[in-house]
A and B are shown apart, each in its own frame.
Chain A
Amino acid sequence: MDLEHRKDSSFKLKLDQSEIVSLYEDMILGRYFEDMCAQMYYRGKMFGFVHLYTGQEAISSGVIKALEEKDYVCSTYRDHVHALSKGVSSREVMAELFGKETGCCRGRGGSMHIFSKKHNFLGGFAFIGEGIPIATGAAFQSIYRKQVLQESQTLSVTVCFFGDGTTNNGQFFECLNMAALWKLPIIFVVENNQWAIGMAHPRSTSVPEIHMKAASFGMPGKEVDGMDVLAVREVTEQAIRRARAGEGPTLIEALTYRFRGHSLADPDELRSSQEKEAWTARDPIKRLYNYIIEKDITDHNTLEAINQKVKVIIEDSVDFATSSPEPSVKDLHKFLFL
């Protein structure tokens, strides 16, 4: 898809070349980080359930890189890459996955519970749907700060990520209702990767077009190609403008695919090879790479240099995690109460 040929011509994406290249870098960071996680998991360096984001990078980068520092992000159990896009260092995330004291949650949370207060990264929620009201509460807080505390004139915006499976859960509907009712500055981003573990999306929902459900709550619902970072960025910028202006929430359905099983423990036997091939042919990183070259935004050498730079960052984060101390058992009860 070309920028000039996008639907919804009411808004044109304006990104300078360096911004497009930095989106590429963020996507590569997400890809290489998760590749390294797979390696480390199979080498016994990380444990439990590890859900990788591979294939969905255009959504994390396309949405989160459009936010400001003061804005909030709330994620799910597939949260590593969202945290990286929000600015949590790969060292801190990797160390958390290794269960180390230098991890962003001091090794207490693990893969599905990445939190970082200083990055306004709200988690890291492992149960389906439970993060949605928490994000809604953060968005409520923005309104409260402006209207009651009169601390700021501009609203911070909260982005809440979740998957297609979650949209059959009551908390999705309950929170869309409250967000629309109170015109909260929140963007609900459904990463529709077509499968909830082994449940194909159309087998679980009566109306598979998730974006259409927004209309029931009087909020805009946008469908976007989740394999196209620029398309995601464009629809996100519209939603941010609406939220920041106090006009209320938006539901974005980004169509995507995970290139790996649900978690590293999933044998992934139900998805057909034809389906997988069709989606991997639409790899969002290759697509942006080709777009950058075609549009002469920068050259192969520059992109390769970025790849190399990111590889070094990831290797450094593994070294950091490996050499970091384990949490001390004497601190077993620390953090329970303030």
Chain B
Amino acid sequence: MNKTFLFEALHAATDEEMGRDPKVLVIGEDVGHYGGSYKVTKDLHTKYGDLRILDTPIAENSFTGLAIGAAMTGLKPIIEGMNMSFLLLAFNQIANNVGMLRYTSGGNFHLPLVIRGPGGIGRQLGPEHSQRLEAYFQGIPGLRIVACSTPYNAKGLLKSAIRSENPVIFFEHVLLYNLQEEIPSEEYTLPLNKAEVVKKGEDITILTYSRMRYNVLQAVDTLVDQNYDPEIIDLISLKPLDMETIATSIRKTHKVIIVEECMRTGGIGAELTAQIIEQLFDQLDAPVIRLSSQDIPTPYNGTLEQATIVQPNQIVNAVKQIC
């Protein structure tokens, strides 16, 4: 076991996969000489050269398209969005090409590529750098969406995403890069389609992902002290949702709270609620509670920013309300 920061786990996953398969390369802004905005590709250019760690001009839609062309012709690119928000500029390429091209071409071409980078709401980064893009991406057919949340799952999931023959949108979170934990020194991968049961419990199922996992854990500390016993599930796969793991939990607890950083309207929680009601209505003893961010641009002011996203006390109150 090695004590590893989350950004180091992503670095190790990239390094190992590049060493394993010479077709794997990284494409993005400042991924090479600068080492990536969160140092996920630090010094890899000295090991693999400038073609495999390709510093691109600032042209998000075009370097995304470039990666698509490279994937169509047999390479396995990893696109780093310096901030995932910038990939709004590449939305056409991601929707029309990354998501749809295998289908549109009737199976002629497939796209083994990963789009990864820092997403989510950080600390007072302002509205444009504090977005919740998973809501926008989830409607695109042909995409898998994964969100990592610990150094351990970051490494195993990124390795699997790189090996996948299908395109994967891989969300990291700006606030989680400096999380540290022991991870195995031997090689491992993790399945892209499995949710993670973070804590077993009997009273209620709390579904969450990415950095909200930690707000939930904070709330659960309080709740456990007060003799509540919630089960926590980290979705990991935002699309498709691992309804099997979710259903197993709900059949046990019969109550659900969804905690997400995503916007409320059309977010991951909205889709999750719909699927739970469609598939598990008879199992529910209470309405599904959805705790989401406010439907506003993320404000810069720290107090307003905190009021935009879900806080641990809201989670505590919601659990008490239905348990």
Contact = CB atoms under 8 A, between A and B. Distances in A.
Interface string A203-222: 00000000000000000000
Interface residues of B, number: 42
B51 A137 contact: no
Contacts of B108: 104-105, 115-117
Contacts of B22: 148-149
Interface string A137-168: 11111011101110000000000000000000
Given A174-B57, A177-B59, A141 B65 contact: no
A148 B21 CA distance: 11
Contact of B63 (A74, A108, A122, A133): A133
Contacts of B73: 72, 120, 122, 137-138, 141
Interface string B128-141: 00000000000001
Interface string A92-123: 00000000000111111100010111001011
Contacts of B23: 149
A278 B212 CA distance: 67
B16 interface: no
B49 A148 contact: yes
B62 interface: yes
B69 A137 contact: yes
A178 B105 contact: no
A171 B49 CA distance: 26
A134 interface: yes
Interface in A159-198: 170-171, 174-175, 177-178, 181
Nearest to B49: A148
Interface string B86-119: 0000001100110001111111111000000000
A43 interface: no
B105 A140 contact: no
A221 to B, nearest CB: 19
A122 B69 contact: yes
B26 to A, nearest CB: 12
B105 A108 contact: yes
Given A133-B93, A138-B73, A335 B107 contact: yes
A160 to B, nearest CB: 10
A115 B57 contact: no
Contacts of A115: 104-106, 108-109
Interface residues of A, number: 49
Nearest to A172: B62
B56 interface: yes
A138 B72 contact: yes
Contacts of B57: 174, 177-178, 181
Contact of B105 (A123, A174, A334): A123
Contacts of B109: 115, 117, 122
Contacts of A130: 61, 65, 92-93, 96-97
A105 B96 contact: no
A133 B69 contact: yes
A148 B45 CA distance: 13
Nearest to A110: B104
Contacts of A124: 104-105
B310 to A, nearest CB: 32
A248 to B, nearest CB: 15
Contacts of A335: 102-103, 105-107
Contacts of B74: 141, 145
A336 interface: yes
B75 A144 contact: yes
A140 to B, nearest CB: 6
A83 to B, nearest CB: 12
A76 to B, nearest CB: 13
Contacts of B49: 148
Contact of B62 (A126, A136, A337): A136
Contact of B56 (A107, A135, A144, A178): A178
B78 interface: no
A338 interface: yes
A174 B106 contact: no
A79 B286 CA distance: 56
A113 B104 CA distance: 7
A132 B61 CA distance: 11
Nearest to A103: B106
Most buried by B among A124, A127, A175: A175
Contact of B66 (A104, A149, A178, A338): A178
A117 B73 CA distance: 9
Contacts of A338: 102, 110, 165-166
Q: Which 5 residue pairs are nearest across A and B when measured between Cβ atoms?
A: A137-B69, A133-B65, A106-B106, A105-B106, A115-B105
8 contacts: A105-B106, A109-B104, A109-B106, A133-B63, A137-B67, A137-B68, A148-B51, A337-B142
Given A116-B108, A148-B51, A335-B102, 19 more contacts: A108-B104, A115-B106, A115-B109, A117-B108, A133-B62, A133-B69, A134-B66, A134-B68, A136-B62, A137-B65, A137-B73, A138-B70, A139-B69, A140-B70, A141-B70, A175-B62, A175-B65, A177-B59, A336-B141
